[in-house]
């Protein structure tokens, strides 16, 4: 069946398939609809003509923007308390202002902006956003200024969405439709009014999309100045997206995939017959604009980050000693001392901060679970200062009288003598009290040489080289047992009463285990005369060292990745990705019991479900188109299909790439991770809306190049239906927005019944709901 | 490509000429005949397809196939009884086989077909099921373990001829097919795992069989709806059913067949020349043969399972109370019918896969730190609860009048071994944080109103609706379904197959759900065991629980247990390995004790086979990438037919491999080296394919090069097999005396 007869002019009505006898004839014309679908712009509906003027478009976008600002700034000072993740991001901003080093899994760009905003409005960085519910007013924090930043960016996202749709060739009404889904959305509003990173992420994501579309539209004018500009801007905004939050890497992936598809087309010799040389030019241009430029920008965020954070802060301990030595005021810098043999020192575990401790009590012969111990002297981890933490480092080789030979070095074999009980640290193949898989640590009298070999330990500095001297505080090392190769290790489990609930120490068979890291806290005593000179009071604080930026950058990136993957703890409001598009669950951001106020992150259900329905319609259309074409039918005119596959397809790509990877992640996930995808789905909704109403599109949208074949222009005409539906839809969105406003703005408080009324889905776990007690019949 | 042709074209010798429309493959291949030069063994074929040659080729294929079969049986049976002790998972599967012979109901995470075949092997060998199969124990004289092992090893042996024929059906040149068959024959991993009482030999056999049937079916594609076409389609379906009934891993090869079928149908869908009727026929045929038949086979295996296991056994508690009541040797029927205060009961969760309400003397690690309450699937005294009146009421008097439990009664449930009461409070549950924690609290004298639970009758399986129960009055054991509502908070006692971490021994979390969902079966409970000496023993006539309910229940329970098999971060399991360890054989696995006097078996592959096949996967992708790029630049490297064939074999191998590999990366479950064994088969096919494409079927390379490549690879495979044969046939004496087996430093063959 041919979808259209070639003779009939293709105008606005959908062409009902006319069964024609001459199939061959219709096939001839199928490849190109050019001749048939010309349209006169003046024959459009007057409303459409009016709305498509520059002026009308400007007015519409102005109204949308003004509304966006109004909705996002309304009562932005409410609540004057720390809400949800403001705990983190507010704190980080404070650190920038006080220039204290912190560590976080997200790249620094958005947080730098918050720091800047805070600095701009006069925040002194003293308030540390410790708990949700801490008052800003009492602590004199100019939080409104800081919240204004995401509010501005969140508001500006709305006109950018509008512009994306306009640039993609949709009518004003359609562009306004997509923008209004974002404009009236409770979730976007709630996220934009607080000191959170998502508004920045989404804003730059939309800018990236916008620039890429502009760039794509110039594809017939390659290497022109404009083309280069939009290419570079795409790269720049992409870097900003990535720099705002780790999820931004998905935006990079999106653009990457789109570019690969694009390059694949350029490679196609059949299409325009380009030479390989031409292809490589394109390739290089994109490599510069979309890899090199973004990477430099991304690096520059970190450069600023390190340049600002020059003081020691809470993030120190995440970093390597070498890194810490670049921070002024860091403890390591103050009194990191080289250790000599026969020094008496205290050893401390890096992660749990307990001291290696031993006392005269012995392990019980039999544990509760029936296993047997060696009944040796207990070795435990103890959190407080005590003389039982003192160990003397005994050499296993002859020492010179004086000089550098007396220093303890990487890879040396040492013994540790427990000073108070005069016994050596020892481990052997006996199961530890709590973990049958790990070895027990105990001590052995100094004079009894029968087990000498079991008291030998290698001291291996992390990333150390031969000859490196062990230093107090800054030198992190592992203590590897000589004969059984286990590492001295501890974990947060407490031993029972017989060991005074101190922490268990045992030998971990994984000798590369990261958490088996120890350092020397203090030098207590030394056989050496110059000992006094080496203690802290006598030492001048050293100058912060410098470290190569790229090494710092590399170290931090690695840590960020590791920690991001490590965020697996369960959270009551974490949800699985499948729930997100359907808006099945929200997040409780903040509550105030007295006034029954709460902020609950939930989207505008009208908008979200419109998006989900549109997505399924879109997939349905594509599926039907594929099936039909497989059977040799051609139900959709080429310009419309191009639009659906290329333009809407790009939105779909954004949606999919920002959504699907979450299914593979095992870290805790929240509904706000879906917001970038929701933005894309709003655009798909607009496109589907347009497709349903009319088969016309503005075409072509790409800028014509010198060698491009002239396509007759076509114009979209949605008639009067579209504005009417749009107005109706916006009113519905607005009504729902206002209904849920108390949950979004956190004010006013709601009674139990009111809360119940707003609980449209039983999966929304709102606070202060009135109890509906089921009766027992 | 010539020498392969005689093989590959077997599908085309059908007298009926294929319609030209469908056969992109037919015509170009015939052209190739002219293009193709000269290869050694196939000289006679060059003249064309004289019937005599065809006959000869076919004959030759079978001669070779037979030879491989004989070799295969030799490798699989050689010294099979040498280790006369229980090796590795024989401890499990031998025991399950015994359960079939004793007809005792047991529970396991794997579907039953494989284990029933173990039972059958035992039956045929004359085993009576009395042996306990303790790990490492020596077999007694009553256990015909050699005969059992041999029967199961036959499955493993059959892999080899199937591998050969599959390669032939895939249209590989004979040289490539020999490589595939040799690799299947001589991989020590496959060999080793096939020689014991394990499910893997059957899993491998059915996986390989499925691929074989699929390729057979593919080669019938020009003769739709002919008898062979139906035969191979149906065989594929049955084979899918069998492989999925042996281990759930079989679903991966099912997915491969699914993808293959979807692609096939998509091709057909685009072929306008096929009439609508024929289209429908194609679709229906696949739905029936590839969906219904496998499901039927799967369900039939469970039906037989239930039919054999009619006695009460160790797996009872996994099933619904009614099912258990139907097992012989179960005492439920004798317990009193009506529940009263003072009764001692166990409470069974009605949801699919539900267990018994359980408590033990261990506290929650956080939350209230009170005693844990869980759902447990094994019967012990910690599942028992006493029904007692409220604190305010006079304490239960064993001498007083009997008070039957009624709907709406508020009770306390006391856990006799620890005297704690079932308790809940507004503290988040350990996993399901939005529910309240349920704990064991207090003792015989201490307690509070948070121990109160209101009994709500849902319905009764025998007497019908709630109204009917209320009219008649009392609550019955086994059949009355109840809910327990916390008197103070109003939440409902619930257990929904969420496993606790290691501190809760992976038992199921019990919570109190603040939402009242009357339809939620996970909040339904029934009384299972009921003891009360003051009541007369009931004489209950049970109706059997329907097969489909049991089937579903058992499958949910299997899933739940499977999900609980997650790696324990606190415990180092030296047997487990990560999927990334497999393709390049980073680790081996000791299958039994490593003492000097035991016969030692080490599960490790033939390094040439494993490394070579893994490299071939990467190579195939690289080759494909180059072809695609060149295709986009419009270079013609192959005829359409060659290209289709290159893609077809590549897709079977690559998708087969990926479907059997990547899911393991995502799964949270503990994974072991032997999980890679089905995966390896597809890698081996890819190895043959890549070699075939690049070397054996190359038009440019001279015969001498091809012969050399074949010779080198074949002798390397044979050589490494000979070198490593001990790990599969058994190593006697101190391991240190066997020199040169440590080909990767990470293997634990010599040291700890």
Note the pLDDT of residue A68: 96
With contacts defined as CB-CB under 8 Å, which chain B residues touch A773?
A: 490
Asked if A627 and B269 come within 8 Å (Cβ–Cβ), the reply is yes
Q: What does the pLDDT look like over B119-151, one tens digit per residue?
A: 999 999 999 888 888 888 889 888 899 999 999
Asked if A267 and B571 come within 8 Å (Cβ–Cβ), the reply is no
Note the pLDDT of residue A532: 58
Q: What does the pLDDT look like over B160-177, one tens digit per residue?
A: 999 999 999 999 998 999
Half-sphere exposure of A312 (CA within 13 A, CB side): 14
User: Nearest by CB to B571, which of A437, A631, A632?
Assistant: A437
A76: its two tokens: 């932005």
B610: its two tokens: 């494993």
Locate the chain B residue with the closest alpha carbon to A776: B408
Note the pLDDT of residue B3: 38
Total Cβ atoms within 10 A of residue A554? 11
ipTM above 0.85, yes or no: no
Note the pLDDT of residue A717: 84
Query: Given a cut of 80, is residue B292 above it in pLDDT?
Result: yes
d(CA B68, CA B71): 5
* pLDDT cut 90: percent of chain A above it: 39
Query: Given a cut of 70, is residue B5 above it in pLDDT?
Result: no
244-263 in A: which are within 8 Å (CB) of B?
Answer: none
Locate the chain B residue with the closest alpha carbon to A664: B666
Question: If you compute the radius of gyration of chain B from its CA atoms, what whole number of angstroms results?
Answer: 31
User: Nearest by CB to A776, which of B270, B454, B633?
Assistant: B454
Note the pLDDT of residue B281: 94
List Cα–Cα distances, A115 to A92, B425, B675, in angstroms.
8, 43, 52
101-130 in A: which are within 8 Å (CB) of B?
Answer: none
Q: What does the pLDDT look like over A19-43, one tens digit per residue?
A: 434 334 443 344 444 344 446 777 7
Tokens 């809306």 locate to A689
485-524 in A: which are within 8 Å (CB) of B?
Answer: 509-510
Q: What does the pLDDT look like over B437-454, one tens digit per residue?
A: 999 988 888 888 889 999
Note whether B368 and B439 are within 8 A (CB): yes
User: Nearest by CB to A268, which of B485, B571, B632?
Assistant: B632
Lowest mean pLDDT among A158-172, A329-343, B100-114: A329-343
Task: Give the mean pLDDT of B642-661.
Answer: 94
Asked if A631 and B408 come within 8 Å (Cβ–Cβ), the reply is no
d(CA B75, CA A442): 52
Note the pLDDT of residue A236: 96
With contacts defined as CB-CB under 8 Å, which chain A residues touch B272?
A: 631-632
State how far residue B305 is from chain A, nearest Cα, in angstroms. Answer: 36
User: Nearest by CB to B570, which of A435, A570, A572?
Assistant: A435
Asked if B433 and A627 come within 8 Å (Cβ–Cβ), the reply is no
Query: Given a cut of 90, is residue B254 above it in pLDDT?
Result: yes
User: Nearest by CB to A267, which of B518, B632, B666?
Assistant: B632
B433 near A CB under 8 A? yes
State how far residue A775 is from chain B, nearest Cα, in angstroms. Answer: 10
d(CA B738, CA B750): 9
State how far residue B456 is from chain A, nearest Cα, in angstroms. Answer: 7
Note the pLDDT of residue B752: 54
Q: What does the pLDDT look like over B363-413, one tens digit per residue?
A: 888 778 889 999 988 888 899 999 999 888 888 888 888 888 888 889 999
State how far residue A755 is from chain B, nearest Cα, in angstroms. Answer: 15
Task: Grade residue B51 by pLDDT with cuts at 50, 70 and 90.
Answer: low
Q: Is B122 helix (H, G, I), strand (E, B) or coil?
A: helix
Q: What does the pLDDT look like over B180-209, one tens digit per residue?
A: 999 999 999 999 999 999 999 999 999 999
Asked if A627 and B485 come within 8 Å (Cβ–Cβ), the reply is no
In chain B, what is the straight-line distance between the N-terminal and C-terminal CA atoms, in Å? 50
Q: What does the pLDDT look like over A393-446, one tens digit per residue?
A: 888 888 887 777 788 888 888 999 998 889 999 998 888 888 877 888 999 888
Asked if A762 and B634 come within 8 Å (Cβ–Cβ), the reply is no
A774 near B CB under 8 A? yes
With contacts defined as CB-CB under 8 Å, which chain B residues touch A662?
A: none
Note the pLDDT of residue B570: 54
A268 near B CB under 8 A? yes
Total Cβ atoms within 10 A of residue B13? 11
Query: Given a cut of 70, is residue B593 above it in pLDDT?
Result: yes
Note the pLDDT of residue B621: 96
Query: Given a cut of 90, is residue A729 above it in pLDDT?
Result: yes
Asked if B428 and A572 come within 8 Å (Cβ–Cβ), the reply is yes
Note the pLDDT of residue B468: 83
Task: Grade residue A635 by pLDDT with cuts at 50, 70 and 90.
Answer: confident
Best of A276, A630, A660 to mutate (most B CBs within 10 Å, chain B): A630
d(CA A136, CA A194): 13
Task: Give the mean pLDDT of A460-474.
Answer: 79
Asked if B272 and A570 come within 8 Å (Cβ–Cβ), the reply is no
With contacts defined as CB-CB under 8 Å, which chain B residues touch A264?
A: 632
Query: β-strand A487-494 against A503-508: which pairing, if any?
Result: antiparallel
State how far residue A381 is from chain B, nearest Cα, in angstroms. Answer: 19
A624 near B CB under 8 A? no
User: Nearest by CB to A765, which of B434, B485, B518?
Assistant: B434
Asked if B490 and A771 come within 8 Å (Cβ–Cβ), the reply is yes
Note whether B564 and B497 are within 8 A (CB): no
Spatial CA neighbour of A144 closest among A201, A202, A88, A73: A73
User: Nearest by CB to B516, which of A264, A632, A774?
Assistant: A774
Domains and CATH numbers, chain B: 23-37+56-304+580-737 (no CATH), 335-544 (2.80.10.50)
Q: What does the pLDDT look like over B523-562, one tens digit per residue?
A: 999 998 888 888 888 766 666 778 898 899 899 889 888 8
* pLDDT cut 70: percent of chain B above it: 91
With contacts defined as CB-CB under 8 Å, which chain B residues touch A267?
A: 629, 632-633
A267 near B CB under 8 A? yes
B622: its two tokens: 């690289």
Note the pLDDT of residue B438: 93
How many contacts does A have with B, using Cβ atoms within 8 A? Answer: 46
Note the pLDDT of residue B157: 95
List Cα–Cα distances, B88 to A253, B3, B91, B136, B188, in angstroms.
46, 45, 6, 7, 17
Task: Grade residue B30 by pLDDT with cuts at 50, 70 and 90.
Answer: very low
Note the pLDDT of residue B541: 66
Note the pLDDT of residue B469: 83
Lowest mean pLDDT among B292-296, B578-582, B654-658, B718-722: B578-582
Task: Give the mean pLDDT of A132-157.
Answer: 92
Is the backbone of residue B667 left (phi > 0), alpha (psi -120 to 50) or beta? beta
Lowest mean pLDDT among A529-543, B56-70, B93-107, B543-557: A529-543
Task: Specify the higher pLDDT residue, B208 or A527.
Answer: B208
Q: Report the b/e string of A76-114 with b at 16+ CB within 10 A.
A: beebebbbbbbbbbbbbbbbbbebbbbbbbbbbbbbbbb
446-505 in B: which are within 8 Å (CB) of A?
Answer: 454, 456, 485, 490
With contacts defined as CB-CB under 8 Å, which chain B residues touch A756?
A: none
Asked if B266 and A435 come within 8 Å (Cβ–Cβ), the reply is no
Asked if A437 and B270 come within 8 Å (Cβ–Cβ), the reply is no
User: Nearest by CB to A270, which of B266, B454, B634?
Assistant: B634
* pLDDT cut 90: percent of chain B above it: 48
State how far residue B508 is from chain A, nearest Cα, in angstroms. Answer: 17
User: Nearest by CB to A776, which of B433, B456, B633?
Assistant: B456
Task: Grade residue B18 by pLDDT with cuts at 50, 70 and 90.
Answer: very low
pTM higher than 0.90: no
Mean pLDDT of chain B: 86
Task: Give the mean pLDDT of B225-254.
Answer: 95
Query: Given a cut of 50, is residue A448 above it in pLDDT?
Result: yes
Q: What does the pLDDT look like over A94-103, one tens digit per residue?
A: 999 999 999 9
B634 near A CB under 8 A? yes
d(CA B706, CA A40): 68
Note whether B372 and B439 are within 8 A (CB): yes
Task: Grade residue B45 by pLDDT with cuts at 50, 70 and 90.
Answer: very low
B516 near A CB under 8 A? yes
Task: Give the mean pLDDT of B80-104.
Answer: 90
Note the pLDDT of residue A127: 87
Q: CB under 8 Å to A512, separation ≥6 — which residues?
A: none
Asked if B572 and A437 come within 8 Å (Cβ–Cβ), the reply is yes
What is the enclosing helix (H) or strand (E) of B56? helix B51-77
Lowest mean pLDDT among B531-540, B617-626, B631-640, B672-681: B531-540
Cis ω before A322 (30° cut-off from 0): no
Asked if A510 and B572 come within 8 Å (Cβ–Cβ), the reply is yes
Locate the chain A residue with the closest alpha carbon to B435: A572
Task: Specify the higher pLDDT residue, B2 or B428.
Answer: B428
Note the pLDDT of residue A250: 95
Mean pLDDT of chain A: 85
Asked if A630 and B433 come within 8 Å (Cβ–Cβ), the reply is no
User: Nearest by CB to B269, which of A267, A276, A631?
Assistant: A631
List Cα–Cα distances, A74 to A77, A148, A194, A204, in angstroms.
8, 11, 12, 23
The pair phi, psi for residue A747, each rounded to 5°, is: -160, 145
A264 near B CB under 8 A? yes
Note the pLDDT of residue A274: 83
Task: Give the mean pLDDT of B723-741.
Answer: 88
Total Cβ atoms within 10 A of residue A356? 27
């Amino acid at each position: 069946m041919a979808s259209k007869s070639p003779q009939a002019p293709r105008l606005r009505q959908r062409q009902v398939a006319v069964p024609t006898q001459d199939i061959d004839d219709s096939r001839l014309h199928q490849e190109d609809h050019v001749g048939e679908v010309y349209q006169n712009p003046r024959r459009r509906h007057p409303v459409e003509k009016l709305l498509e003027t520059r002026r009308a478009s400007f007015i519409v976008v102005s109204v949308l923007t003004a509304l966006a600002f109004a909705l996002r700034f309304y009562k932005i000072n409410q609540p004057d308390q720390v809400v949800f993740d403001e705990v983190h991001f507010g704190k980080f901003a404070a650190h920038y202002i006080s220039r204290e080093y912190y560590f976080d899994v997200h790249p620094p760009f958005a947080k730098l902006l918050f720091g800047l905003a805070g600095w701009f409005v006069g925040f002194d960085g003293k308030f540390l956003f410790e708990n949700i519910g801490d008052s800003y007013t009492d602590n004199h924090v100019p939080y409104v200024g800081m919240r204004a930043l995401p509010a501005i960016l969140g508001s500006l996202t709305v006109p950018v969405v509008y512009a994306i749709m306009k640039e993609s060739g949709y009518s004003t009404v359609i562009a306004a439709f997509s923008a209004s889904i974002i404009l009236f959305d409770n979730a976007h509003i709630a996220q934009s009014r607080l000191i959170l990173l998502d508004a920045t992420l989404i804003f730059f994501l939309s800018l990236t999309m916008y620039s890429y579309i502009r760039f794509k539209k110039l594809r017939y004018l390659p290497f022109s100045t404009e083309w280069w500009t939009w290419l570079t801007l795409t790269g720049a905004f992409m870097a900003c997206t990535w720099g705002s939050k780790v999820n931004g890497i998905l935006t990079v992936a999106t653009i990457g995939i789109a570019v690969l598809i694009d390059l694949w087309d350029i490679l196609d010799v059949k299409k325009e017959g380009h030479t390989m040389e031409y292809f490589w030019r394109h390739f290089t241009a994109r490599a510069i604009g979309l890899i090199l430029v973004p990477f430099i920008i991304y690096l520059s965020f970190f450069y600023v980050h390190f340049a600002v954070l020059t003081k020691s802060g809470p993030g120190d301990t995440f970093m390597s000693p070498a890194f810490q030595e670049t921070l002024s005021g860091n403890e390591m810098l103050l009194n990191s001392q080289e250790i000599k043999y026969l020094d008496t020192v205290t050893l401390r575990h890096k992660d749990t901060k307990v001291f290696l401790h031993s006392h005269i009590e012995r392990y019980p012969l039999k544990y509760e679970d029936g296993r047997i111990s060696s009944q040796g002297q207990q070795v435990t981890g103890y959190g407080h200062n005590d003389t039982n933490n003192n160990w003397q480092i005994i050499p296993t080789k002859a020492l010179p009288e004086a000089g550098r030979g007396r220093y303890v070095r990487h890879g040396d074999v040492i013994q540790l003598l427990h000073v108070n009980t005069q016994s050596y640290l020892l481990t052997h193949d006996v199961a530890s009290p709590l973990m049958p898989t790990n070895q027990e640590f105990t001590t052995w009298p100094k004079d009894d040489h029968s087990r000498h070999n079991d008291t030998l330990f290698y001291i291996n500095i992390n990333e150390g080289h031969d000859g490196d001297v062990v230093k107090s505080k800054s030198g992190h090392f592992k203590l590897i047992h000589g004969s059984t190769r286990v590492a001295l290790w501890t974990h947060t489990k407490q031993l029972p009463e017989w060991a005074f609930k101190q922490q268990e120490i045992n030998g971990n068979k994984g000798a590369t285990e990261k958490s088996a890291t120890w350092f020397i806290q203090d030098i207590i005593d030394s056989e050496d005369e110059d000992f006094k000179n080496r203690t802290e009071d006598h030492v001048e604080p050293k100058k912060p060292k410098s470290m190569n930026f790229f090494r710092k950058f590399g170290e931090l990136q690695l840590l960020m990745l590791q920690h991001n993957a490590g965020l697996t703890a369960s959270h009551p409001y974490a949800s699985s990705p499948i729930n997100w598009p359907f808006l099945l669950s929200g997040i409780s951001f903040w509550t105030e019991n007295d006034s029954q106020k709460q902020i609950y992150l939930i989207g505008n259900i009208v908008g979200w479900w419109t998006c989900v329905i549109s997505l399924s319609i879109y997939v349905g259309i594509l599926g039907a188109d594929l099936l039909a074409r497989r059977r040799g039918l051609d139900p959709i005119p080429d310009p419309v299909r191009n639009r659906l596959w290329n333009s809407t397809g790009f939105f779909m790509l954004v949606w999919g790439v920002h959504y699907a990877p979450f299914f593979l992640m095992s870290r805790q996930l929240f509904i706000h991770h879906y917001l970038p995808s929701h933005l894309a789905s709003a655009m798909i909704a607009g496109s589907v809306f347009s497709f349903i109403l009319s088969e016309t599109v503005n075409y072509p949208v790409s800028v014509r190049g010198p060698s491009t074949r002239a396509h007759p222009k076509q114009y979209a005409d949605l008639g009067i239906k579209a504005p009417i539906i749009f107005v109706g839809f916006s009113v519905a969105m607005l009504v729902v927005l206002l209904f849920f406003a108390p949950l979004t703005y956190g004010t006013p408080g709601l009674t139990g019944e009111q809360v119940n009324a707003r609980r449209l889905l039983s999966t929304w776990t709102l606070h202060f709901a009135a109890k509906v007690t089921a009766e027992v019949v | 490509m010539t020498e392969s042709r005689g093989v590959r074209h077997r599908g085309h010798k059908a007298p009926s000429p294929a319609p030209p429309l469908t056969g992109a493959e037919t015509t170009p291949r015939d052209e190739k005949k002219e293009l193709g030069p000269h290869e050694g063994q196939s000289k006679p074929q060059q003249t064309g397809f004289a019937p005599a040659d065809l006959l000869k080729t076919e004959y030759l294929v079978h001669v070779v196939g037979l030879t491989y079969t004989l070799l295969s049986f030799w490798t699989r049976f050689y010294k099979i009884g040498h280790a006369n002790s229980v090796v590795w998972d024989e401890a499990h599967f031998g025991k399950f086989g015994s359960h079939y012979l004793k007809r005792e109901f047991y529970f396991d995470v794997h579907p039953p077909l494989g284990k029933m075949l173990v039972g059958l092997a035992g039956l045929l060998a004359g085993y009576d099921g009395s042996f306990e199969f303790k790990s490492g124990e020596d077999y007694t004289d009553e256990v015909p373990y050699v005969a059992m092992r041999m029967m199961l090893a036959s499955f493993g042996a059959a892999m080899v001829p199937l591998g050969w024929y599959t390669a032939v059906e895939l249209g590989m040149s004979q040289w490539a097919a020999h490589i595939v068959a040799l690799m299947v024959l001589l991989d020590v991993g496959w060999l080793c795992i096939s020689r014991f009482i394990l499910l893997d030999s059957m899993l491998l056999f059915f996986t390989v069989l499925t691929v074989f049937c699929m390729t057979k079916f593919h080669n019938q594609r020009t003769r739709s709806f002919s008898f062979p076409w139906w035969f191979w389609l149906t065989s594929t379906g049955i084979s899918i059913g069998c492989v999925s009934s042996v281990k759930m891993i079989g679903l991966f090869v099912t997915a491969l067949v699914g993808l293959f079928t979807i692609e096939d149908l998509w091709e057909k869908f685009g072929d306008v020349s096929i009439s609508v009727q024929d289209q429908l026929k194609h679709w229906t045929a696949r739905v029936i043969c590839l969906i219904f038949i496998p499901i039927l086979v799967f369900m039939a295996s469970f039906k037989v399972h239930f039919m054999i296991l009619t006695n009460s056994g160790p797996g009872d508690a996994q099933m619904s109370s009614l099912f258990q009541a139907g097992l012989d040797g179960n005492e439920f029927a004798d317990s009193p019918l009506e529940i009263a205060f003072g009764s001692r009961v166990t409470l069974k969760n009605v949801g699919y896969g539900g267990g018994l309400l359980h408590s033990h003397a261990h506290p929650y690690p956080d939350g209230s730190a009170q005693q844990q309450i869980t759902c447990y699937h094994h019967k012990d005294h910690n599942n028992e609860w006493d029904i007692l009146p409220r604190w305010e009421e006079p304490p239960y008097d064993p001498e007083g009048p009997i008070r039957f439990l009624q709907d709406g009664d508020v009770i306390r449930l006391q856990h006799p071994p620890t005297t704690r009461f079932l308790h809940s409070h507004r503290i988040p549950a350990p996993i399901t944080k939005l529910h309240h924690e349920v704990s064991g609290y207090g003792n015989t004298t201490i307690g509070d109103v948070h121990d109160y639970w209101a009994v709500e009758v849902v319905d009764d399986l025998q007497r019908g609706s709630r109204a009917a129960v209320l009219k008649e009055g009392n609550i019955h054991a086994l059949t009355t379904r109840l809910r327990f509502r916390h008197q103070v908070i109003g939440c409902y006692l619930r257990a929904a197959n969420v496993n606790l971490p290691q501190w809760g021994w992976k038992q199921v979390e019990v919570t109190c759900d603040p939402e009242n969902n009357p339809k939620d079966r996970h909040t339904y409970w029934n009384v299972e065991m009921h003891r009360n000496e003051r009541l007369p023993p009931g004489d209950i006539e049970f109706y059997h629980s329907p097969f489909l309910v049991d089937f579903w229940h058992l499958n949910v329970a299997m899933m739940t247990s499977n999900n609980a098999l997650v790696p324990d971060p606190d415990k180092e399991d030296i047997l487990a390995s990560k999927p990334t360890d497999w393709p390049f054989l980073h680790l081996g696995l000791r299958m039994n004790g490593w003492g000097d006097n035991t016969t030692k078996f080490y599960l490790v592959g033939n390094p040439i086979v494993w490394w070579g096949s893994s490299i071939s996967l990467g190579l195939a992708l690289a080759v494909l990438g180059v072809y695609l790029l060149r295709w986009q630049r419009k270079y013609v490297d192959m005829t359409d037919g060659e290209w289709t064939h290159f893609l077809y074999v590549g897709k079977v191998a690559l998708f087969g491999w990926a479907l059997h590999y990547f899911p393991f990366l995502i799964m949270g479950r503990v994974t072991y080296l032997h999980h890679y064994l089905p995966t390896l088969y597809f890698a081996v096919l890819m190895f043959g394919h890549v070699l075939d494409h690049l070397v054996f079927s190359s038009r440019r390379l001279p015969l001498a090069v091809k012969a050399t490549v074949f010779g080198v690879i074949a002798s390397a495979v044979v050589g490494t097999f000979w070198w490593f044969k001990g790990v599969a046939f058994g190593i006697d004496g101190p391991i240190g005396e066997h020199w040169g087996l440590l080909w990767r430093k990470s293997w634990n063959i010599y040291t700890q």
